[in-house]
Structure 1
Amino acid sequence: MTETTTANPAHAWLDDDQQRAWRGWLDVHAQLTARLNRHLQATTGLSLSDYSVLVELTSPCASDGSLRMFELGERLQWEKSRLSKQVSRMQQRGLLARRDCPDDRRGAFVDITDAGRAAIAAAAPEHVALVRELFFDGVDPVDVRRLADFTDRVLGRLAHSDLP
């Protein structure tokens, strides 16, 4: 049902354009995530979750390929248990190392290993090419900038929201 109700705005339905945009956004995200995950696994043996962790640990925000566990979780927006299991799996495969934080006995650092650096270096070119093919090819650069502006605004509102 897409009928708008003004009697109780908190329970108002999305209008037709909002519903189409929202459902489209959810569908695009789900299909892209699934396709990128399948492709990474088939071509590199990495999952999209593996790749996401490695991206964060090779980003400029990660000094020397290292982040505190809680920082990595915040950057990925993952629950502690999910992150802990993911890091453990990647550690067993030699892609990451975990070390205790000297300043905080409860804290830990996650470090990318040489094998992790090699894995993302090998995976990135083909992954980026697939992202371009599936998401950006055939899209006008003006629309790409509009989408970037739109996502920046939404992320800004999320950052300043009091909701969990």
Structure 2
Amino acid sequence: MMTKLKSFLDTFLPPESSTHSDPKALISLASAALMVEVLLSDYERKPEEKQTLLALLKSSFSLDQSTAEQLLKQAEKAQYEATDYFRFTSQINDLCTPEEKIALIQNLWQVAYADGELHYYEEHVIRRIADLIYVSHTEFITTKLKVTEASNVMPT
């Protein structure tokens, strides 16, 4: 019974070890988990989406391939165990600057457009995350347009 209660509370409270962890590690895991959420939101896992996500992890957090793959595994596990976005968005709000939040939204768009199309579930998830991390609608649209122009796909 106590194990179940502890497991339930761990869902809502970060583990004690994470409160003393490196802020960069917390940001990278929270960001990666949100990217995984977008990747999974259209119910299709395409190889180009995973490749894009790994490339974004490497470039955004200055990681090598092995470390990026390890972070992706941790993020997939964290996303699977999460019941909502709060665990991740609260860490982003606590630790990131407005510019870093906008960069995250741009990364989310890149994951969504990695397969050359945008599913409305992907857009919904990104909109929800943008709201939760206080990114304005203007920045939400601006980042979407930047990504569509760079990837030569038509915005929807």
Q: TM-score range by the shorter chain?
A: 0.3 to 0.5
Pick 1 or 2: higher relative contact order, CA cutoff 8 A, min separation 6: 2
Q: Which has the larger radius of gyration?
A: 1
Give the TM-score, by structure 1 length: 0.35
TM-score, reference length from structure 2: 0.37
- Structure number with the higher strand fraction is 1
More helix per residue: 2
